[in-house]
Every structure is written in C-alpha cells, then in structure tokens.
Structure 1
Amino acid sequence: MAEKNHIDICGMLVQVLKNKAQQVEDNLNAIAGVEVHGLSADNQLVVIIEQDTQAKIIDTIDGFNAISGVISTQLVYQHSESI
C-alpha cells in the first residue's frame, strides 16, 4: 500500500431541497472522505471533503450533483499540501 504524502481539503456548501435534506446528508456521509457537519436554516449542508489528490476532490464534488435533492454546490474553502 502506497504511503499517503499529500492531502487536499475542501469546505463546501451543498444547497438541498428541504424535504430531501436527511436523505442527501445520509448519501454524502456514505462517500469515502466526505463528512457533513450540519444543516443551515436555509437548507445548506456544510460539508468537508478530504482526499489525496485534487482529481479525487473534483470527482467527489461532481458526484454530489448526481444525488437526488441536491440543488447546487459551492466551494467555500480549499487547501492542498504535502504531508
């Protein structure tokens, strides 16, 4: 197994339909490297993504848009570094 020597972290807001919020949260939490931290009053999930490449981050975000109930995604924070 290759040793992990790079980390990419993103903070996202995921706008969801009110009646689908729990379903979307469950689907997001099931994705490796994704953690939902809360739901705002205006139906935005606060999501953190941790992956070892920027390509995996992009693929993960693209996957969010395929989840039923997701209206939009917004990148709020991005950090990348060697570890």
Structure 2
Amino acid sequence: MKYKDKWISNATDEELSAEREKVRQDCCNPNFDDNYREECHTTLGRFDREMSKRAWGNEEPQAPSIHREHGWHLPNDDD
C-alpha cells in the first residue's frame, strides 16, 4: 500500500476521506485476493485512528450511554 504513516498524518481531512473510501471499496471487493483485502482492512484502521485523533484531539472519546432494558440501577442478569 502507498499509505505511509507520514502521509496519513500530513494529509488533509478531504484527502483522508477520499483515500479511505477508495481503500474501503477495495477491501469490500471480492475480486481482490484475501491478502490484499486484509492489508486494506489494516489500512482502514490506520485511517480511522488518524481521523478519530483529529476529531477528538486530546479528549477521551465518550460513547453514548446505553439504555438498559430494566433501568440503569438494576443488575443485568437476564443472560
């Protein structure tokens, strides 16, 4: 793959988004061999980490709270 860490960190948001989409399409394309698609999957993770780092900066990402079926204060022993 042509995407080195330096390129990923120096690319603009628009470049990252456009190139990520190209890699995603290759990753989903069954006509490519598995090794290449695996490499694409790894590269997608690198793109995502950089995009997340830019979006969140030094903040810790906070996932949305999850509504529990029986209320937040009750144990989840339905399993």
Q: Does TM, normalized by the shorter one, top 0.5?
A: no
More helix by percentage: 2
Larger radius of gyration: 2
Using the size of structure 1 for normalisation, the TM-score is 0.27
Task: Pick 1 or 2: higher relative contact order, CA cutoff 8 A, min separation 6.
Answer: 1
Using the size of structure 2 for normalisation, the TM-score is 0.27
More strand by percentage: 1
